[in-house]
Structure 1
Amino acid sequence: MPHAFQHSVITEFRANAGKVGGPFEGADLLLLTTTGARSGKPHTTPLGYVRDGRRLLVVGSNLGAPIHPDWYRDLLARPTVRVELGDEEFDSLAVPAEGARRDELFARVVAEAPGYADYQDATDRLLPVVVLERPEPEATAPLIASLADKLVEVHTWLRGQLRHVHDETEAHFAARAAHGDGGAAPAPGLGLQIRQRCLAFCQALEFHHTAEDGHMFPTMEGYHPQLGHVFERLREEHRSIAAVQSALAALLADVAIAEPDRFRAELARMTKELTAHLDYEEEHVLPLLAEVPWPPTPPAS
């Protein structure tokens, strides 16, 4: 899609709550914003989609070209993407489907949009089908009134994502053990679902700790110099956890996680160290943040 035309589609989409004219009039269209694998800059692409329950399916067709589109390579490097759908906007985890599941979802897409079959016929490349997860609706969103509340929200998300990765990894090993008893063989290596979720978790954790080291901790230490030993311990734990992150990142460098047993061991180390770190931080830091309003109060003009 030429850059100028793509830009005009994006502008029209945002101005009309997802409705566009021209060749896309009446089509199911979303905007996918990925982070450049090399540049680190955001890139927005209009894409057709098909619904699969609450999830959204997009196909890396690249109009049948022999190489994957840039947005697909981006999301393999940085799985957290931004989706604009009508007048909605939300963050999503992007996970390419694998094996029989990919074939099943591609058939579903083709049933609604037959043109994708023509794109597949035009190339020897297997067109990837990417599942975009939508956030689950919250019955009652917790009230975020202080910086302490915000920190708890972030920690809760990190714990939840780590638990998801752990549960999916253990399910893989359980399937592998069952195969030894004559059960169905598990997928080779560890699946893209585990890789994408773990990579997104590691990137979010790195961002969180960098923000704490660069902004929150120095500011708090200025107000509470008597707690210098607490902040030094937290910074040291950040360095230790970063080493585990690096080990996990090395195992996630390829699409397939080639060393499942080593990955499982590093994940267990991450779980142990991060859980103890978050518990210590909440014990010593949360009381200091309980009276700090969130969002921050804008300065008086």
Structure 2
Amino acid sequence: MPTSFNTSVIEEFRANAGKVGGPFAGSDLLLLTTTGARSGAERTTPLGYVRHGDTLLVVGSAMGAPQHPDWYHNLLAHPLVQVELGTRTFEALAVPAEGARREELFAHVLRVEPGYAEYQARTSRPLPVVVLERAEPDAWEAPRRIDNLADKLTEVHTWLRGQLRQVSAEVEAHFTARAAQVGPGEPAAPSLGLQIRQRCLAFCQTLEFHHTSEDAHLFPGIAHHHPHLAATFERLRDEHRRVARIQGELASLLSGIGVAEPRRFRTELARMSAELNAHLDYEEEALLPLLADVPWPPAPPERTARDRRP
């Protein structure tokens, strides 16, 4: 549960377009909402942030406490988080930095906010530096216009494809650095374990939610108006089940990247990516023409005369 101090900061932040007084006056502040690792409940925490290119950095300082803060444990279990920045609210992917990347980013944080050095001096644990990456196109800028359900489906698929490409790119970076280690005195390969894990976990959780929503709501709604497409929806449901198995294989594969044989690993990852992309392609071919005339977001249901009674 948030403390009364945090609650007052959150209320002031939301009432004043992201501006607060007291100890946070003049600071760059955001609200981070995570999903509880064990409870599954949403938790909102006010945090200072530092910009780094087109990403935002938050530090798990807990003011130098010996343990990582709860919000950090939450985002390890559920990498997709909600960020409130000024008057904007959007989804982000939380990726803790590791190794040399963490040192580089923490040095950047200290140049902008030197006070974090005092927090680091109070504890023996390295303060986590978490990168909040765009989980939506142009998330830090003006949002793209979504007029219909076809646009929304395309947006979700674009994000999923982007995450697949990023996993592949990070895997390549890992193997390239590993191949460059020609002797015991050479620099170690970059530690990408957490980075790859977070991206894969976020991808799998989003895909599972997306497919569950389609099976429970989207497909029955469309099938009601297009009964002649029954075979199409049955194929999509079968593909959802096959994709769920691929997700499990992908997670298992990535968990062993540290000891994997590069050629076999690349081959398996390429096969899984091809199957997932083929499913997304077929779904778009089958559904986008049907969804182009469905407004998004949906209009609220009309209230009846009984609903309008005081």
Relative to the length of structure 1, the TM-score reads 0.87
| Counterparts of 2:118 and 2:35, CA distance in 1 | 29
Q: Look up the match of 1:82.
A: 82
| Counterparts of 1:299 and 1:63, CA distance in 2 | 47
Instruction: Classify the secondary structure of the residue corresponding to 1:179.
Output: coil
Query: Is 2:123 aligned against 1:157?
Result: no
Q: Look up the match of 2:133.
A: 133
| Counterparts of 2:22 and 2:48, CA distance in 1 | 14
Over 3 Å counting, the alpha-carbon distance change for 1:149 and 1:169 in structure 2 is same
Q: Deviations over 1:159-208 (max 9, x none)?
A: 122112112212322332333599854225x4433222222111111111
Q: For residue 117 of structure 1, report the CA deviation from its aligned partner.
A: 1.9
Over 3 Å counting, the alpha-carbon distance change for 1:125 and 1:293 in structure 2 is same
Q: Look up the match of 2:63.
A: 63
Q: For residue 276 of structure 1, report the CA deviation from its aligned partner.
A: 1.7
Q: Deviations over 1:133-162 (max 9, x none)?
A: 256648997653332232222222211221
Query: Is 2:287 aligned against 1:285?
Result: yes
| Counterparts of 1:152 and 1:192, CA distance in 2 | 28
Over 3 Å counting, the alpha-carbon distance change for 1:117 and 1:251 in structure 2 is farther
Within a 5 Å distance, the mapping from 1:1-301 to structure 2 comes to 3-134=3-134, 137=138, 144-180=146-182, 185-188=188-191, 190-250=192-252, 258-261=258-261, 264=266, 267-301=269-303
| Counterparts of 1:17 and 1:81, CA distance in 2 | 20
Confirm or deny: 8 A CA contact 2:137 2:144 kept in the other structure. no
Q: For residue 239 of structure 1, report the CA deviation from its aligned partner.
A: 0.8
Kindly tell me the number of residue pairs found equivalent between the two proteins: 298
Bigger Cα displacement from structure 2, 290-299 vs 278-287: 290-299
Q: For residue 250 of structure 1, report the CA deviation from its aligned partner.
A: 4.6
Identity of aligned residues (%): 67
Relative to the length of structure 2, the TM-score reads 0.84
Specify every segment of 5 or more residues in structure 2 that has no aligned partner in the other structure, as ranges: 304-310
| Counterparts of 1:143 and 1:185, CA distance in 2 | 44
Bigger Cα displacement from structure 2, 68-77 vs 285-294: 285-294
Q: For residue 220 of structure 1, report the CA deviation from its aligned partner.
A: 2.0
Specify every segment of 5 or more residues in structure 1 that has no aligned partner in the other structure, as ranges: none
Q: Look up the match of 2:306.
A: none
What letter corresponds to residue 186 of structure 1 in structure 2? A
What letter corresponds to residue 237 of structure 2 in structure 1? R
Over 3 Å counting, the alpha-carbon distance change for 1:115 and 1:186 in structure 2 is same
Instruction: Classify the secondary structure of the residue corresponding to 2:181.
Output: helix
Over 3 Å counting, the alpha-carbon distance change for 1:128 and 1:251 in structure 2 is farther
Q: For residue 252 of structure 1, report the CA deviation from its aligned partner.
A: 6.3
| Counterparts of 2:96 and 2:166, CA distance in 1 | 17
Q: Please tell me the root mean square deviation across aligned C-alpha atoms, in Å.
A: 2.9
Confirm or deny: 8 A CA contact 1:158 1:201 kept in the other structure. yes
Confirm or deny: 8 A CA contact 1:35 1:43 kept in the other structure. yes
Confirm or deny: 8 A CA contact 2:2 2:45 kept in the other structure. no
Over 3 Å counting, the alpha-carbon distance change for 1:137 and 1:275 in structure 2 is closer
Bigger Cα displacement from structure 2, 234-243 vs 166-175: 166-175
Confirm or deny: 8 A CA contact 1:144 1:150 kept in the other structure. yes
Q: For residue 209 of structure 1, report the CA deviation from its aligned partner.
A: 0.3
| Counterparts of 2:31 and 2:45, CA distance in 1 | 6
What letter corresponds to residue 168 of structure 1 in structure 2? E
Q: For residue 121 of structure 1, report the CA deviation from its aligned partner.
A: 1.9
| Counterparts of 1:37 and 1:250, CA distance in 2 | 20
